[in-house]
Chain A
Amino acid sequence: MIDFEIPEKIAQICTVVESVAVNMMRPVSRYFDEHEHEIPWDYITFMHTATRAMGGSSMVPGTSKSEGPRIGFQRLAFMVEMLSWGDAGMYLCTPGGMLGSAAVSATGTPEQKERFLKRFRGEKPVFDAMCMTEPQCGSDTSAIRASAVLDKKTNEWVLNGEKIFVTAGQKALVDSNGFIVVWATIDPKAGRAGMRPFVVEAGAPGCSVVKMEHKLGIRASDTVSIVLQDCRIPFDNILGSPEVITDKATTGFKGAMATFDATRPIVAAQAIGLARATLELVKEMLAEQGVTIRYGLPRQKMTLIEREIVDMEIMLRSAWLVTIKAVWMADNGKPNSLEASMSKVRSGDVVTKITQKAVELMGPVGYSREHLLEKWFRDAKISDIYEGTGQINRLIVARQILGYRSSELR
């Protein structure tokens, strides 16, 4: 039965998260934008304490079968939407399992899940990160060169390569006892079939953060380059099978894609939160100037500003619904690759359009750093780039609706 009622539990959590966003994020938004690479510890410590008090270790839903209907991904999407409404950069500093844990959850054994994820339940806040992109390849993840070779004498994997654009890599490896998930090939000739995710824990020898990027936006969040030089990790840190399956099955790559199916709607939710913040602020600023939006008018009778605002509301609400459907499918064990990518396509478009339009509409006020609109414009753009650019997600949607394999639609 089709239903659009927000689950009661989620509504309650959102009220709490909203007060975090209002009280702990918005007041320092501008400060951390202008002090790149400073770490918002107050927010981090608070979130860690609060998550522990609620008995959780991360916001990422577990895989254990709980009683009653599963709403884990829906809850996560709502929380992320609200935190990003507070501040998109600071949200990325939220401790606990994020992308790395999502990979562990999607492809790890029960033993690995316990071993790697328990650190999030400790006293100190801990971070993880996902390392996919390399200097020579971004969207074309099958071209990854980072390699993992098994040293049979010591039963260790030896990793070599360079990873760039690692979100929160500094916090995962240097500022906390976290881990990164590194995608590397165990057989360069095998292409996608040889790709595997490896867990590299903080302090692993041969793994170092070599660069922190200076970015257009989301400056509260660190983005780093990581070099792996004969980095040795235990054999059991491989996620998935250590064998290359010869019948061209691409399980390793599919593991990566399964992770993205779970995380793309969450990135979409992040975009939506930022877009909502922007639209709300624009409407508030307009209201202060005595401009109200007359819903229900035919287009021919609207002012330009009314048309823009109404169009923004349509984009925002519809993109959010696509996102909710994608996470609802994840919670219900329905394959959601199509919907996950649709949510990312739509929300990436929507947040960039809304934030760009907001700065334009508000004129000199919008462009000024006295207000947050210009910051949100800069923060927004990343949503259409990371976790699969808008174009990569269009490819995925197109392949799905056309019934094409990747070789048929490149």
Chain B
Amino acid sequence: MYSFEPSDEQKMLLDAVSRYATNDLRPAAHDAEEGHEFPLKLINKGWEIGLLQASVPEAYGGFGERSVLTSVLAAEELAFGDLAGALTVLLPGLFVLPILLAGSEEQKQELIPPVIEADWKPYSAALIEPFFDFDPSDLRTTAKADGDNYILSGEKTYVPFANKAEKMLVYAKLDKTTRGFIVPAGTAGLKVADEREKLMGLNALPFYRLTLENVRIPKTALLPGDFGPVLDSSRVTLAAMAVGVAKAALEYSRDYAKDRDVFGVKVAQKQAIAFMLAEMATDIEAIRLLAWEAAWMLDKGHTEASKTAYLAYTGAVDMVMMVTDRAVQILGGHGYIREHPVELWMRNGRGFATFTGLAVV
């Protein structure tokens, strides 16, 4: 039976997330981007809402059960506040959730509770590689079995907090498929770049390059499960975050257009602008529903879940680019000035085509 109404429980959670996104993340976003850092206190406040904790069962230190749909609703709200902030708050999930989804019982028992039960701390994951045709299902980083060990070799990029994370997951190709490996900081051969990466957006979040030169790890470091569910989750999360960023851009440009005078009327009273806004709103709604359906399918284990998550993500990449570009256009010259947030949303919007694996719920 169709329904498009979140449950009361979901509404309560979304309320808390929305308050945090609007009152904490959004006001801090500009300075964080320009100053290249979020205050830890602010991030920890978001962490304490307990989104990740609610996705982890009690047996591993959490207090809930993972629902992709609920998490996706929350992800949209967070990203509505600020994308870099949203990714930072959810960062420990990059480490915990793949273990929950693909880890052995021992790995879950050992690795999840210390993350979940503590304050926010940087953990990380290395998936993206520095090549134009990077494909999460066909990695160039390799894992080779050698006695009781695996040996990892390759290059990674966009690895968040790689300098501070005490443990991370590294994805590599093993027997033609993508697999996750637990790699503690300081493992021999694991080289974190000295300098932060310089990107077009997401400057509030420190990213590093990583070189793996014959990194030797024990066989127990391999997550026994498939990478597929992690990728599906990442795609649907990014789709929802793109919706959040797009919604922010729509609302900001709408309010601006209602306020600004032109030729004796408000900008928004011109069809050229009003139609742009109508199309932005329609596209946002369409992709939001596709992301919801994909999330719902993932929760149900639906046979079309993986494909739908892929479609939602791919659609979201185009939608958020179109919407954020138009938001800048509606503000005209003012949209190009960094005092207004729309240019940041446009930079972030373009990044969704690249951000695979930077969020998992």
Query: Which residues of A are at the interface with B, using a C-beta cutoff of 8 A?
Result: 1-7, 69, 71, 74, 295-301, 310-311, 313-315, 317-319, 321-322, 324-325, 328-329, 339, 342, 345-346, 391, 394-395, 397-399, 401-404, 408-410
Contact of A321 among B69, B289, B318 (CB under 8 A): B289
- Count A/B pairs, Cβ under 8 Å: 140
Interface-facing stretch out of B26-34, B160-168, B193-201, B266-274 = B266-274
* Cα distance A81–B208 in the bound complex, in angstroms: 50
Contact of B132 among A300, A318, A391 (CB under 8 A): A300
Secondary structure call for the A interface? helix
Contact of A322 among B69, B134, B289 (CB under 8 A): B289
Give the bracket for the number of chain B residues in contact with chain A. Answer: 35 or more
Residue of A nearest to B274 (CB): A398
Residues of the A chain whose Cβ atoms lie less than 8 Å from the Cβ of B24: none
Residue of A nearest to B275 (CB): A394
Residues of the B chain whose Cβ atoms lie less than 8 Å from the Cβ of A296: 137, 306-307, 310
Query: A395, B2: Cβ atoms under 8 Å?
Result: no
Most B CB atoms within 10 A — which of A7, A318, A408? A318
* Cα distance A404–B271 in the bound complex, in angstroms: 12
Residues of the A chain whose Cβ atoms lie less than 8 Å from the Cβ of B2: 3-7, 74, 324, 328
* Cα distance A301–B308 in the bound complex, in angstroms: 19
* Cα distance A403–B258 in the bound complex, in angstroms: 10
Residue of B nearest to A396 (CB): B278
Contact of A310 among B275, B293, B314 (CB under 8 A): B314
Query: Which residues of B are at the interface with A, using a C-beta cutoff of 8 A?
Result: 1-7, 10, 69, 132-137, 250, 254, 257-258, 268-269, 271, 274-275, 277-279, 281-283, 285-287, 289-290, 292-293, 296-297, 306-308, 310-312, 314-315, 318, 353, 356
Residue of B nearest to A300 (CB): B133
* Cα distance A329–B1 in the bound complex, in angstroms: 13
Residues of the B chain whose Cβ atoms lie less than 8 Å from the Cβ of A317: 290, 293, 308, 311
Query: A346, B286: Cβ atoms under 8 Å?
Result: yes
* Cα distance A311–B282 in the bound complex, in angstroms: 16
Contact of A3 among B1, B283, B310 (CB under 8 A): B1
Residues of the B chain whose Cβ atoms lie less than 8 Å from the Cβ of A398: 268, 271, 274-275, 277-278
A222 CB to nearest chain B CB (Å): 32
30 contacts between A and B (CB under 8 A): A1-B3, A1-B7, A3-B1, A4-B296, A5-B2, A296-B137, A297-B135, A298-B134, A298-B136, A299-B314, A310-B311, A310-B314, A317-B293, A317-B308, A318-B286, A318-B287, A322-B285, A328-B3, A342-B281, A342-B286, A345-B279, A345-B282, A346-B282, A394-B275, A395-B271, A395-B275, A397-B278, A398-B275, A402-B268, A408-B269
Query: B4, A401: Cβ atoms under 8 Å?
Result: no
Query: B254, A402: Cβ atoms under 8 Å?
Result: yes
Residues of the A chain whose Cβ atoms lie less than 8 Å from the Cβ of B69: 2
* Cα distance A190–B50 in the bound complex, in angstroms: 59
Residue of A nearest to B308 (CB): A317
Residues of the B chain whose Cβ atoms lie less than 8 Å from the Cβ of A325: 4, 285, 289
B321 CB to nearest chain A CB (Å): 12
Given A2-B296, A299-B314, A317-B290, CB of A394 within 8 Å of CB of B278: yes
Query: A4, B268: Cβ atoms under 8 Å?
Result: no
* Cα distance A339–B7 in the bound complex, in angstroms: 21
* Cα distance A397–B297 in the bound complex, in angstroms: 29
Residue of B nearest to A324 (CB): B2
Query: B137, A328: Cβ atoms under 8 Å?
Result: no
Contact of B282 among A328, A342, A391 (CB under 8 A): A342
Query: A395, B3: Cβ atoms under 8 Å?
Result: no
* Cα distance A403–B274 in the bound complex, in angstroms: 11
Residues of the A chain whose Cβ atoms lie less than 8 Å from the Cβ of B307: 295-296
B128 CB to nearest chain A CB (Å): 11
Residues of the B chain whose Cβ atoms lie less than 8 Å from the Cβ of A404: 268-269
Query: A402, B285: Cβ atoms under 8 Å?
Result: no
Query: B314, A314: Cβ atoms under 8 Å?
Result: yes
Query: A295, B310: Cβ atoms under 8 Å?
Result: yes
* Cα distance A276–B278 in the bound complex, in angstroms: 25
Residues of the B chain whose Cβ atoms lie less than 8 Å from the Cβ of A322: 282, 285-286, 289
Contact of A4 among B254, B257, B297, B315 (CB under 8 A): B297
Query: A401, B5: Cβ atoms under 8 Å?
Result: no
* Cα distance A301–B69 in the bound complex, in angstroms: 29
* Cα distance A6–B296 in the bound complex, in angstroms: 13
* Cα distance A2–B136 in the bound complex, in angstroms: 30
B28 CB to nearest chain A CB (Å): 28
Query: A3, B3: Cβ atoms under 8 Å?
Result: yes
Residues of the B chain whose Cβ atoms lie less than 8 Å from the Cβ of A397: 278, 281-282
Residues of the A chain whose Cβ atoms lie less than 8 Å from the Cβ of B257: 402
A80 CB to nearest chain B CB (Å): 16
Residues of the B chain whose Cβ atoms lie less than 8 Å from the Cβ of A298: 133-136, 356
**18 other contacts beyond A2-B6, A391-B275, with CB at 8 A cut-off?**
A1-B6, A2-B296, A3-B1, A4-B297, A74-B2, A296-B137, A298-B134, A298-B136, A301-B133, A311-B314, A314-B312, A315-B315, A325-B4, A345-B278, A345-B282, A346-B283, A395-B278, A398-B271
Query: A313, B4: Cβ atoms under 8 Å?
Result: no
B67 CB to nearest chain A CB (Å): 10
* Cα distance A252–B94 in the bound complex, in angstroms: 57
* Cα distance A69–B2 in the bound complex, in angstroms: 10
Residues of the A chain whose Cβ atoms lie less than 8 Å from the Cβ of B137: 296-297
Residues of the A chain whose Cβ atoms lie less than 8 Å from the Cβ of B282: 322, 342, 345-346, 397
* Cα distance A391–B136 in the bound complex, in angstroms: 41
* Cα distance A315–B312 in the bound complex, in angstroms: 10
Query: A401, B311: Cβ atoms under 8 Å?
Result: no
Residues of the A chain whose Cβ atoms lie less than 8 Å from the Cβ of B5: 1-2
Residue of B nearest to A408 (CB): B269
B291 CB to nearest chain A CB (Å): 9
Given A314-B315, A318-B289, CB of A328 within 8 Å of CB of B132: no
Residue of B nearest to A350 (CB): B286
| Complex A-B, nearest 3 residue pairs according to Cβ-Cβ distance, in ascending order | A318-B286, A398-B274, A314-B315
* Cα distance A149–B137 in the bound complex, in angstroms: 72
A320 CB to nearest chain B CB (Å): 9
